[in-house]
Amino acid sequence: MWRHRTESRLSRCMLEARRRSAESGGNLINSIEYCTDPNFKGQCAMPTVTLEDCMIITDPVFMNTTSSFRTNDDCVYCELYRDSFCITDIATIYAGTAVGDGGESSKGANFNDKVLSFRCRRGTREWMAPNCPS
């Protein structure tokens, strides 16, 4: 099951997320999930993410091995990048549109085994679910 991860890895991720949140003043969320295999199989992670921050994938298990990515928050979307600096975007994953096979997403790019960083944001009124804060 995807929730099997070592406590030390989870603790490191949480501490890093807290540090980033304190530095950025951003909002923390726990609704992002990504996995090494299609259809949310293989090894998976649900890291604590600071909205608006460039989140660098530092765990070798997930570096350039992500095949599935989704946001479980109706009010959040994420941009995926092929570099560690959130510069070269290859996909945008919107709420409710999980991409489980590394296949084409909103940018028409295949992100399978290419993701090194991502940035998540709250949506705008144009596409948000009605219950999302403005």
pLDDT digits (tens, 9 = 90+) for 61-85: 999 999 999 988 888 889 999 999 9
Count of other CB atoms within 10 angstroms of residue 73: 21
Residue 129 main-chain phi, psi, to 5 deg? -65, 150
Predicted confidence at residue 20, as pLDDT, reads: 44
Give pLDDT, residue 14: 47
Largest CA distance in the chain: 40
Beta 28-29 vs 54-56: how paired, if at all?
Answer: unpaired
- Do residues 82 and 90 touch, judged by C-beta distance below 8 A? yes
The pLDDT of residue 75 is 84
Residue 106 Cα distances to 32, 39, 67, 69, 96, angstroms: 17, 18, 15, 13, 13
Q: Which residues of the chain have pLDDT under 70?
A: 1-26, 96-98, 100-109, 124-131, 133-134
What is the SS3 assignment for 11?
Answer: helix
> Domain 7-122 classified CATH 1.10.1660.10?
no
* CA dihedral (108, 95, 112, 87) positive or negative: positive
Bridge partners (DSSP) of residue 41 are 37
CA angle, corner 78, sides to 101 and 59, nearest 5?
A: 70
Q: What is the pLDDT of residue 22?
A: 42
